[in-house]
């Protein structure tokens, strides 16, 4: 953040040395310190404090104490209370003798932050190991992809980079809360619940001049694809430099990663959390409906309910004095604009403990957060203008592999158990019913969810169907699958063979649950009898998906099998994530501050097509001031490119170098390298 400024945490004493033009006499020279913040500073609002010189500190109040007089100078400790308003302060001193004339001298400015090291602060976190991870760590990982293909994306949080702390307060000062009533807004900046809620609203730009403009389409020509960001610093710098105009573009992982930068910078312990198969349950009925036609095509719907392949939010650590006892600790905050809360696009803080226990009546936005990880999934067969039958009713398919970076490690930590009891356990179903009663209220009697309990969707099927990959899927290659089909007894067909007609369809998936037109279809006829299992090969040629995938490179293969005798249908699904080529990063020697460090980056194009318009971008707090970007042209199929870059590390300690190679064909080929930077040795 810089060595030229005074930045302190509340509840933490700091020292000042004052120099006078004559000797200072305690008892006859009276000093009054004045600390002010905000546009209108008033003691009643907590934005102005006046305090005199005393021998000892007087508790959790503004104090000037523990002073030492040395002829013409005074060394004094100043204390800010652990519940003080955070922000930039001006400090003045008023000097008088008895009842005589007083003189005011400006002393300077300082910035006050939350203090998770102080037991009296509402963000107190009693673990140095956790504080190093959730406050001091300026890099990490965001987890993306699919529950079976989880990818760790390196991210440069950079909360201590130049100007970031000022930009964080710019963000607060651009919020609608501040613009509507600046004095009241400032007076509430002592409360992490309030501050984090404001940040959640300001990271997106749906209501205001927030940081990021969301884009879930495929046209990013007016900005930067969300896949091409390496970190938060470039985004925040651009927002500030261009007059606080929203930066294009963001999606959930970008929103959450930028919020992590801001809240860590302000002093709130924060981590980034990913949930796979996350529900967007806008109508609050705890079910998300998906519709297929008889050709196994996922149908678009006007309903806003979706199942996202993954969704990313934040957890911030704080005391919740506004809640009953027991709900302190990690709180969900989601800056991705999905629905309004108190009129603004923000979400949380919602206690993770409250989500686990189904206490959805507790603020803020707990019903929405609960549904994200607990809603039921209902898949319908649709035809003749209406839903005809239930193909699947899943009570355990939402909220899978909830993940965050492991403390002190590059590994992923599964934290699903902090959000819910084990799927299908008596505790989990009990909590679900409690939450549904609270959320549905009078609507409960006619809830589609409860209607399912007596529906024939739960009847046993006469066959078991599964789709398996015959080989590892690679982008640019034909995809090989096998349908495994086995006859099992059911009430309608206790014995004898059955005939199935299976319609297959493949569609490109966007991570927020939308699909595109089918890119492949096939029909298979099967005769199934007891005692034999059929393995039917399926080929999805590269030419079918070559120019039809979204940036996520995710395909859903769906099959609907109709039993000829009864007309009943069965669904089989397989999601396929196509891995991009992998790059390697090596450094040549020991890293030292200010000394050249050569980095070797190697990428082999393992695809059948050329990668055109390739660029490489390097970023890493403490290693690079900003970014290094190079155009590297076209990389032909099977060819290898080697890139050499010299870095001059800026800061000591553990650092992470993030590398992104993007092309017209693949937006994101990412890699990282952990680098420990030593202090420069004297030559």
Ligand-binding site membership of 423 (annotated): yes
For the beta sheet containing 329-333, the strands, ordered from the edge strand earlier in sequence to the opposite edge, are: 350-351, 329-333, 306-318, 270-280, 400-405, 412-414
CA distance 561 to 469: 19
Closest among 201, 311, 200, 181 to 263, alpha carbons compared: 200
User: How do strand 669-678 and strand 653-662 relate by DSSP bridges?
Assistant: antiparallel
Can you read off the two tokens belonging to residue 380?
Answer: 């319908």
Beta strands in 210-256 (DSSP E): 212-214, 247-250
Can you read off the two tokens belonging to residue 422?
Answer: 């084990």
Scored b (16 or more CB within 10 A) or e, 297-309 reads bbeeeeeebbbbb
509 touches 550 (CB < 8 A): yes
CA distance 147 to 394: 16
398 touches 419 (CB < 8 A): no
Kindly write down the DSSP assignment for every residue of 356-422, as one continuous string.
HHT-TTSTTTHHHHHHHHH-EEEEEEEETTEEEEEEEEESSSSSEEEEEEPTTSSSEEE-HHHHSSP
Coil vs helix vs strand at 344: strand
Coil vs helix vs strand at 165: helix
Output Rg (C-alpha) for the chain, integer angstroms.
Answer: 29
Site of tokens 């029909």 = 523
Given the residues 185, 334, 365, 575, select the one marked as catalytic: 334
Closest among 142, 387, 467 to 275, alpha carbons compared: 142
Closest among 676, 674, 598, 605 to 637, alpha carbons compared: 605
CA distance 286 to 281: 7
Q: Angle, to 10 degrees, between the axis of helix 252-266 and the axis of helix 233-241?
A: 80
Given the residues 146, 311, 503, 511, select the one marked as catalytic: 311
| Cis before 349 (ω within 30) | yes
**Which H helix or E strand runs over 279?**
strand 270-280
420 touches 428 (CB < 8 A): yes
290 touches 277 (CB < 8 A): no
Is 168 annotated as catalytic?
no
CA distance 44 to 38: 13
Is 252 annotated as catalytic?
yes
Residues in the chain: 683
599 touches 675 (CB < 8 A): no
CA distance 37 to 113: 13
φ/ψ of residue 380, rounded to 5? -110, 150
Ligand-binding site membership of 478 (annotated): no
Beta strands in 411-519 (DSSP E): 412-414, 463-469, 479-487, 498-508
Given the residues 168, 196, 252, 346, select the one marked as catalytic: 252
User: How do strand 376-383 and strand 287-292 relate by DSSP bridges?
Assistant: parallel
For the beta sheet containing 287-292, the strands, ordered from the edge strand earlier in sequence to the opposite edge, are: 287-292, 376-383, 386-394
CA distance 627 to 101: 56
Residues in binding site: 374, 376, 423, 428
Residues in binding site for Ca(2+): 374, 376, 423, 428
Report the catalytic residues: 252, 311, 334
């Amino acid at each position: 953040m810089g060595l030229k400024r005074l930045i302190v945490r509340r509840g933490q004493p700091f020292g000042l040395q004052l120099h006078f033009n004559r000797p200072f006499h305690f008892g006859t020279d009276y000093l009054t310190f004045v600390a002010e913040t905000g546009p209108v500073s008033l003691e009643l609002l907590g934005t102005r404090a006046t305090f005199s010189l005393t021998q000892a500190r007087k508790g959790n109040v503004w104090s000037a104490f523990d002073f030492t007089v040395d002829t013409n100078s005074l060394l004094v400790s100043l204390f800010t209370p652990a519940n003080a308003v955070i922000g930039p302060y001006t400090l003045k001193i008023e000097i008088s003798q008895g009842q005589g004339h007083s003189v005011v001298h400006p002393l300077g400015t300082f910035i006050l932050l939350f203090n998770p090291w102080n037991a009296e602060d509402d963000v107190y976190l009693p673990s140095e190991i956790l504080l190093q991870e959730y406050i001091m760590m300026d890099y990490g990982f965001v987890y993306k992809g699919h529950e079976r293909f989880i990818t760790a994306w390196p991210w440069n949080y950079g909360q201590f980079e130049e100007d970031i702390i000022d930009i964080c307060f710019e963000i607060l000062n651009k919020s609608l809360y501040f613009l509507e009533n600046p004095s009241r807004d400032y007076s509430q900046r002592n409360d992490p619940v309030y501050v984090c809620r404001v940040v959640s609203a300001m990271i997106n730009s749906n209501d205001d001049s927030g940081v990021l403009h969301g884009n879930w389409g495929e046209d990013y020509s007016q900005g930067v694809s969300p896949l091409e960001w390496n970190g938060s610093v470039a985004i925040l710098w651009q927002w500030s430099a261009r007059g606080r105009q929203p930066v294009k573009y963001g999606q959930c992982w970008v929103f959450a990663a930028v919020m992590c930068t801001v809240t860590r910078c302000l002093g709130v312990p924060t981590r980034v959390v990913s949930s796979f198969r996350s529900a967007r349950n806008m109508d609050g009925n705890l079910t998300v409906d998906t519709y297929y036609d008889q050709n196994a095509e996922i149908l678009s719907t006007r309903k806003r309910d979706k199942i996202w392949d993954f969704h990313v939010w934040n957890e911030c650590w704080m005391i919740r004095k506004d809640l009953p006892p027991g709900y302190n600790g990690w709180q969900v905050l989601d800056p991705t604009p999905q629905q309004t809360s108190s009129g603004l696009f923000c979400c949380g803080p919602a206690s993770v403990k409250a989500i686990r226990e189904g206490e959805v009546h507790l603020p803020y936005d707990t019903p929405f957060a609960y549904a994200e990880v607990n809603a039921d999934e209902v898949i319908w067969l649709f035809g003749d203008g209406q839903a005809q039958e239930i193909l699947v009713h899943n009570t355990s398919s939402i909220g899978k592999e909830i993940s965050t970076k492991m403390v002190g490690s590059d590994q992923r930590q599964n934290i699903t158990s902090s959000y819910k009891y084990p799927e299908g356990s008596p505790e989990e179903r009990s909590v679900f019913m409690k939450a549904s009663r609270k959320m549905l209220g009078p609507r409960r009697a006619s809830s589609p969810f409860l209607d399912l309990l007596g529906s024939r969707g739960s009847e046993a099927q006469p066959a078991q169907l599964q789709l398996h990959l015959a080989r590892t899927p690679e982008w640019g290659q034909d995809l090989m699958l096998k349908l495994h089909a086995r006859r099992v007894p059911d009430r309608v067909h206790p014995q004898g063979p059955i005939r199935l007609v299976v319609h297959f369809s493949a569609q490109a998936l966007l991570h927020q649950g939308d699909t595109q037109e089918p890119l492949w279809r096939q029909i298979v006829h099967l005769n199934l009898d007891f005692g034999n299992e059929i393995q039917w090969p399926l080929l999805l040629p590269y030419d079918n998906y070559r120019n039809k995938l979204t940036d996520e490179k995710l395909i859903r293969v769906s099959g609907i099998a109709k039993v000829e005798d009864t007309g009943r249908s069965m669904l089989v699904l397989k999601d396929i994530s196509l891995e991009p080529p992998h790059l390697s990063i090596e450094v040549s020697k020991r890293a030292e501050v200010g000394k050249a460090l050569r980095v070797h980056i190697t990428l082999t194009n393992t695809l059948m097509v050329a990668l055109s318009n390739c660029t490489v971008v390097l970023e890493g707090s403490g290693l690079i001031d900003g970014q290094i970007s190079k155009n590297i042209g076209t990389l032909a199929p099977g060819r290898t490119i080697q890139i050499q870059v010299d870095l001059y590390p800026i800061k000591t300690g553990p650092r992470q170098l993030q590398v992104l190679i993007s092309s017209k064909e693949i937006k994101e080929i990412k890699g990282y390298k952990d680098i420990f930077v030593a202090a420069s040795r004297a030559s």
